[in-house]
Structure 1
Amino acid sequence: VSQILDGPHYTESPVLIGPAPMICGVLCRPRERQTAAEPVIFLNAGGVPHVGWARGTVEAARALAAEGVASLRVDLPGLGLSDPTEEGRLFLYDRRTRHDVSRAINWMERAGYPGVGLVGTCAGAFQAFHAARADRRVRMLTMINPLCFAWNSSYALEMA
């Protein structure tokens, strides 16, 4: 998994974050200059894979790269290209997602980014909020259209 996509202002490479369940993602870096701004991790918007609605997350990541900001688009377990959850359920609103987000933050730290920003829409906002509360490496938080802030295991969805 080392294929790299070169664009006019960015390079993209696939990312695998273990251990199981494996988290898949795409690291988007500026081609030339990197600013001092913290990199961003884009979380899934509900059940939408890391490309985002109408590829919106891809476009946002590439626009950030044009401004010198790196980003990581991830599929949490049970979504997109990542491994399914052990339970066979999609946990959008559950404590476990905080640990998956921390795994992505750990990966970014090992890649040379000691602090990150989190961006989440809908369930991703919920996940970003709780990860930011638990992890001091989160230095910026953007929450779009959060449904709730309280944990509730009844929000788990069956996977088809």
Structure 2
Amino acid sequence: MTPKIFAATAAIGLLTGLDNFLYAYGMAKLPVSTTSLLIATQLAFTAGFAFLLVKQTFTAYSVNAMVLLTAGAGVLAFGAGSDRPAGESSKEYIIGFVTTLLAAGLYGLILPAIELLYKLANQAITYTLVLEIQTVMSFFVTIFATIGMIINNDFQVNILLISI
């Protein structure tokens, strides 16, 4: 793995960590049904970024599939109604909505970015290279999550729970 590929892979790993955070935060503020509908927009984001980054061409079948899946999510949205969790303010709901939509958009960017990384590697895409890229990405996602847990004091141990 070249240093250039390593740096790009590390950046994608950090973006994946941010995406995981945004998704988890939105999931904590929204009902599952709303979160699922918002995450369904990832398809449109992925298609758009694939078109822009890797010059993906669309066939009638792929466009039809995107339209049907997006329309299906829209039909579900009409039946969802207002299912805001009890005691949650409008501000928290909106923040959850926005972060979940950002998570869908960011993941829609990450998938074509990985494909672009493989195209720009200028080397044979071997099993070893794929594993190296996955390992580096996972390492940087773990670093991102660990730093977040340190900031949030998630490593403090409750002695009572350990003794049980």
TM tier relative to shorter chain: under 0.3
Q: Which has the higher contact order (CA 8 A, sep 6+)?
A: 2
Greater fraction strand: 1
TM-score, reference length from structure 1: 0.25
Greater fraction helix: 2
Larger Rg: 2
